[in-house]
Amino acid sequence: MAFPLPPPMRLALDLAAAASDAGEVPVGAVIARSGGVVATSANAMRTDSDPTAHAEIVAIRRAAAALGTSRLDDCDLWVTLEPCAMCAGAIALARIARLYYAAEDPKGGAVAHGPRLFGQPTCHHRPEIYAGIGAAEAAGQLRAFFATRRD
């Protein structure tokens, strides 16, 4: 029996689908606090001509602006792909309380793969981590997106 996805992950997956339609790598992110959405984003690197415009980074910037603080220590980040090293670093610096991600990224991920940033002794904040929520759908979005670019 399949269980419905938590609303923030459903929203992140919908944002990822919209990013794909816009020609961006399909990654969506939602920052929530106390059950309410604080900020949302999708990858915008091509749209904004900004290599740092990953969904997580843009969502963190928006949440910090909305809340008027650089410390998001009472917030959760829901994202459709395992964060890269840049995004994991930003998550630590923002003091995100909990990280929920869908698909693993063996090539570019930095949470369960690669540098495993949150396990490094130089990382001063480690969020609670929950992986695999919505993984099949997120991985399917990514496979479909890149399949059209390889033909």
The verdict on whether residue 75 carries a ligand-binding annotation is no
The verdict on whether residue 87 carries a ligand-binding annotation is yes
Quick check: is 56 catalytic? yes
The verdict on whether residue 54 carries a ligand-binding annotation is yes
Instruction: For strands 36-42 and 76-81, give the pairing.
Output: unpaired
Q: Which two tokens stand for residue 79?
A: 């994202």
Q: For the chain, how far is it from start to end, CA to CA, in angstroms?
A: 35
Q: Which entry of 56, 104, 128, 137 is annotated as an active-site residue?
A: 56
CA–CA distances in Å: residue 89 to residues 5, 8, 78: 27, 22, 16
The answer to whether the CB of 105 falls within 8 A of the CB of 117 is no
Residues marked as catalytic: 56
> Which residues are known binding-site members for Zn(2+)?
54, 84, 87
Positions at the binding site: 54, 84, 87
